[in-house]
Amino acid sequence: MAGAQRSDKQTACHVSEKEKDEALIVRIKNGDYSAFEELVRKYQARVYSHGLKFLNSKEDAEDILQETFLQVHKSLDKFRGEAAFSTWLLKIATNNCLMRLRKRKKMIAVSIDKPIEFNGSKLTREIVDWSKNPSLQYSNDEIRMVLDNTIAKLPEDKRAVLILKDVEGYSNIEISQMMGMTVAAVKSRLHRARIFVRDELSVYFEGALEHTKTGSVK
């Protein structure tokens, strides 16, 4: 017993986030409300900004925040610790965001499953390389607006994958766990979503750059 305690102390300096969260969760399950408050303090900003990115509304993000943590407290017994707590938490938050999007219903989903405009082996339009355009920064309000509007047009599964991967930086595996889909399905949605956004940005930049001849295609 004493030996076990000593070894706990030795590893205490190297406790991973996962282990810290698990320790908090044990305390919460034993009825320690202050442990729950600690968990909320740790993750509230992440859940709030997640909601903001999905829903573009402070009010909705605040609702999602409250719903999500209440749900976390209620269903903590279902958390088995296979994935990290943060993954499980973000899965709940993402589901809540998606439900809210569905409720809004006014969202215009556009089809982006068609292959883009390569006709057989021939490229049927010019590809303008606007990647070096100096106005192209996220801090640029106009670009930001174009991006936000474009994301809003994406069907919800593709929007979710794009935000989780390219905005929030989760791995394909984490996203597959959050969304309940295979890694291949995550990759395919991500690719369609990125191409859609790229195309929208291209429309925005049309005329902003001189069209360069793109040469022959294979």
Partner 1 sequence: MKCQEILEKLSEYIDKEVDPSLCDEIERHIEDCEPCVAFINTLRRTVELFGGVKHVTPEIPPDVSDKLNAFLKEKIIRNP
Give, in order, the Cα–Cα distances in Å from 181 to each of 26, 91, 137, 189, 194: 29, 12, 32, 11, 18
Q: Establish if 107 lies at the interface with partner 1 (CB under 8 A).
A: no
> What kind and span of H or E run contains 150?
helix 141-153
Quick one: which of 15, 173, 195, 203 contacts partner 1 (CB under 8 A)? 195
Q: Is residue 79 close enough to count as binding partner 1 by CB under 8 A?
A: no
CB nearer to partner 1: pick between 27 and 46: 46
Q: Using CB under 8 A, which of 191, 203, 206, 208 touches partner 1?
A: 191
- HEC assignment per residue over 7-30: HHHHHHHHCCHHHHHHHHHHHHHC
Name residue 174's amino acid.
Answer: E
Q: Does 97 bind partner 1 (CB under 8 A)?
A: no
Select the residue interacting with partner 1 from 112, 152, 167, 181 (CB under 8 A): 167
Per-residue 3-state assignment (H helix, E strand, C coil) for 54-101: HHCCHHHHHHHHHHHHHHHHHHHHHCCCCCCHHHHHHHHHHHHHHHHH
**Residue numbers at the binding site for partner 1 (CB under 8 A):** 33, 36-37, 40, 44-46, 48-50, 58, 62, 65-66, 69-70, 73, 115-116, 118, 120-121, 123, 126-132, 136-139, 143, 147, 162, 166-169, 172, 187, 190-191, 194-195, 197-198, 201-202, 214-215, 217-218
